[in-house]
Amino acid sequence: MPQPTRHYETMIFDSARWREFEFRDDDILICTPYKAGTTWTQRICALLVFQTPELDRPLAEITPWMDIKSLPVEHVHATYQAQSHRRFIKTHTALDGLPWDDRVTYLVVQRDPRDVFMSMMNHVANINPQSEALMMKEMREQGAPPPQVPEDPNELFPVWLNTGSFEWEQDGFPFWSVFNHCQTFWEARDKPNVHFVHYADMKEDLEGQMRRIAKLLDIEVPEQKWPELVDAATFSSMKKNADMMAPDTEVKMWKSNAAFFNKGQSGQWQDALTDENIALYNKLTRERYPSDMMNWLEHGGPFPG
């Protein structure tokens, strides 16, 4: 596999922060677009690695987002370097912006893009105004006008489908393309260390998917521990412990940590998006992306091939 061929940088994150990071043989990269089950997968990995629901510090401090600009890169590297347990590392960078290492497990978690969009709407509404003001101020100082993000999902949806953050992307505004993110890993799906997990499958059979992930990561869990670990990975348990579970709490990103775990449901787009927007989505995604990838993205289930 080639080394990174693209540099992903926005006001929020920068893939260059991976430069000079030293991998270990058993590292786990949690590779997701936004709002696709990132924190859920981090929690599952923590439960499998530590085999206890208890954490000695917030989850985000154990598995910080490598790419985020709000934390000094030296701090993030040092945090991971100091860890003696098996490391599980959060990234939102597409595969063509990541270093490749045959020793590393790339755990790729995806979700129906329409559900990603609906969750993104809640995500934007929950951003702490003070944090948002700082980002807007920095944009203005750099000569980049702050993006105007419509609050009406049916007004934003066609913009999300037709505006990219990078020259090689056609969609994703105001963040980045969830479709491109998936496609970069999709093209490497035959690699023995690239494994796909779907949000809908975790919703339908959490224990089954946790057992599958444990097997993929070659982690043995005593049978008597499973009920406690599965319960700790449920949406309700994570929401109840939101101050320990929510991401980016160290930079006070959210109005409410509990609201970060909004509903965790699938299919909300069906009652929110107009028939016209759904038709536009079907047309554009099938023109731009592989049909087998899109079918799996939307439904999950047995992986193609």
HSE of 41, CA atoms in CB hemisphere, 13 A = 33
Using alpha carbons only, give the angle 286, 290, 293 rounded to the nearest 5 degrees. Answer: 105
Burial 150-171 (b: 16+ CB within 10 A, else e): eeebeebbbbbbeebbbeebbb
- Cis ω on the peptide bond leading into residue 158 (within 30° of 0)? no
Whether 7 sits among the annotated catalytic residues: the reply is no
Strands 194-198 and 105-110: parallel
Catalytic annotation, pick one of 7, 75, 85, 92: 92
Strands 28-31 and 194-198: unpaired
* Residue 77 tokens, joined: 């590297």
| Cβ partners under 8 Å of residue 154, min gap 6 | 272, 273, 274, 277
Beta carbons of 37 and 119 less than 8 angstroms apart: no
HSE of 17, CA atoms in CB hemisphere, 13 A = 27
Active site residue ranges: 92
